[in-house]
């Protein structure tokens, strides 16, 4: 089989790139190691920047999001037992959209089905070859038969543990990484959210986040030890710990219920440089990871997709200027976003080695943040998303 762009990975970044390419008349195939049900069943973030919303509109998949998504004009930070609101819309003229990544993926899957572009699920032993030659290829095993796809370009949208980055020779890539000494225990439950906007909590017992997926489905998190196991936490123990970290009035309003999903996510910051290797491009988690504080993972992947889509579209129109600048443009935004996610993580969490001085610095930073219009504006600008340049 021959195509113009072979996309490895059918998560939201791979499917979004495929949808944008298809609408631009560029042939593509999406190849995914897992089943469609597995991809759709992954529980992920749900706060979308305006740039991501705009990109979904350009892809023609924003209809259900506009009907069911929840626009948020602000966000709250809680410390010292008090909630403080950051007026995103008032400070920046922009808002964020709460719409689950699962729903984004579902919309993109439906659109791809309509487009008729090929998608391969349950592809075993995926191999990327010849990315440094004029004719790269991808092969995979399915039902005992090895299939081969020749393409002009390969987009590695296959995540942190995918084959694409692993195929690059170590001498050609530089990896930057920070592992955080704690995780997030997350619970998804069909209960109304405790607040109509997100609440990020700094507390002596550890960080907490009150988030949501809809008006009747909530997602809550508490900072936990990396030695913890999700199955060791009963629902009652989780709700009790969350209440302990919330102000009493907020805790009293919390509606609890049985968990639909419960898991522990480790936190890391990670960047690979560069993001282009001949005709292979790394996109999203294949090239970078941010801690979930600030909800930047999906949004940063979407900005990669925007840059690569623009580059490929220009290439097939006769100009390689944009595609040659893909890595540089993407990394410039990635590092700024990494900085914000690292800063917010450092600000809101308890670190085992920070001591009393570190705790005082966190509190001073939080006090300063809400006493300075400039500081609030800077945080709001980063939270709603930096522009694509």
In a domain, 96, yes or no: no
In a domain, 284, yes or no: yes
| 330-383 tens-digit pLDDT | 999 999 999 999 999 999 999 999 999 999 999 999 999 999 999 999 999 999
In a domain, 343, yes or no: yes
Structure confidence at residue 42 (pLDDT): 79
In a domain, 339, yes or no: yes
| 284-326 tens-digit pLDDT | 999 999 999 999 999 999 999 999 999 999 999 999 999 999 9
In a domain, 250, yes or no: no
In a domain, 297, yes or no: yes
Residues taking part in catalysis: 72, 200, 292, 296, 383
Say which CATH number the domain at 23 has.
3.50.50.60
pTM value > 0.75: yes
Q: What is the dihedral of CA 41, 45, 47, 49, to 10 degrees?
A: -100
**242-248 long-range CB contacts below 8 Å, 24 or more apart?**
242/208, 242/210, 244/203, 244/205, 245/201, 245/203, 245/205, 245/206, 245/207, 245/208, 246/78, 246/194, 246/199, 246/201, 246/208, 246/210, 247/78, 247/81, 247/82, 247/83, 248/81
Domain count, the chain: 1
Structure confidence at residue 41 (pLDDT): 84
In a domain, 220, yes or no: no
| 158-196 tens-digit pLDDT | 999 999 999 999 999 999 999 999 999 999 999 999 999
Environment class of 106 (CB within 10 Å of its CB; exposed 0-12, middle 13-18, buried 19+): middle
In a domain, 187, yes or no: no
Residue percentage of the chain with pLDDT more than 70: 100
173 vs 177: CA distance, rounded Å: 13
Residue 280 pLDDT grade (very low, low, confident, very high; cuts 50, 70, 90): very high
H/E segment holding residue 266: strand 259-273
Host domain of residue 114: 5-44+101-177+267-348
| 29-55 tens-digit pLDDT | 999 999 999 998 876 778 999 999 999
Structure confidence at residue 44 (pLDDT): 73
Nearest to 140 by CA among 130, 148, 150: 148
């Amino acid at each position: 089989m021959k195509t113009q762009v072979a996309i490895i990975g059918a998560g939201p970044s791979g499917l979004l790139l495929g949808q944008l390419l298809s609408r631009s008349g560029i042939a593509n195939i999406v190849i995914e190691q897992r089943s469609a049900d597995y991809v759709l069943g992954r529980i992920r973030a749900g706060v979308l920047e305006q740039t991501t919303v705009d990109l979904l509109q350009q892809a023609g998949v924003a209809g259900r999001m506009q009907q069911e998504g929840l626009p948020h004009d602000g966000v709250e930070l809680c410390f010292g037992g008090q909630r403080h609101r950051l007026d995103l819309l008032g400070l920046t003229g922009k808002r964020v959209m709460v719409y689950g990544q699962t729903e984004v993926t579902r919309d993109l899957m439906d659109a791809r089905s309509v487009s008729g572009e090929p998608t391969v699920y349950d592809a075993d032993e995926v191999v990327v070859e010849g990315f440094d030659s004029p004719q790269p290829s991808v092969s995979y095993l399915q039902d005992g038969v090895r299939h081969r796809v020749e393409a002009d370009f390969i987009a590695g949208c296959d995540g942190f543990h995918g084959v694409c980055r692993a195929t690059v020779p170590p001498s050609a890539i530089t990896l930057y990484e920070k592992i955080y000494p704690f995780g997030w225990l997350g619970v998804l439950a069909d209960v109304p959210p405790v607040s109509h906007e997100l609440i990020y909590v700094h507390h002596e017992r550890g960080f907490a986040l009150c988030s949501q997926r809809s008006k009747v489905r909530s997602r809550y998190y508490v900072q936990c030890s990396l030695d913890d196991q999700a199955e060791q936490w009963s629902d009652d123990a989780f709700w009790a710990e969350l209440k302990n970290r919330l102000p009493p009035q907020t805790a009293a309003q919390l509606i609890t219920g049985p968990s639909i999903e419960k898991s522990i996510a480790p936190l890391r910051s990670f960047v690979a440089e560069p993001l282009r290797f001949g005709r292979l491009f790394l996109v999203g988690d294949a090239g970078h990871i941010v801690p979930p504080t600030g909800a930047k993972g999906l949004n940063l992947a979407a900005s990669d997709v925007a840059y690569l889509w623009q580059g490929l579209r220009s290439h097939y129109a006769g100009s390689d200027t944009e595609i040659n600048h893909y890595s540089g443009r993407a990394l410039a935004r990635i590092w700024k976003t990494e900085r914000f996610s690292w800063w917010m993580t450092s600000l809101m969490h308890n670190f085992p080695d920070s001591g009393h001085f570190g705790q005082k610095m966190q509190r001073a930073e939080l006090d300063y943040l809400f006493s300075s219009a400039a500081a609030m504006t800077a945080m709001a600008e980063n939270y709603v998303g930096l522009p694509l340049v």
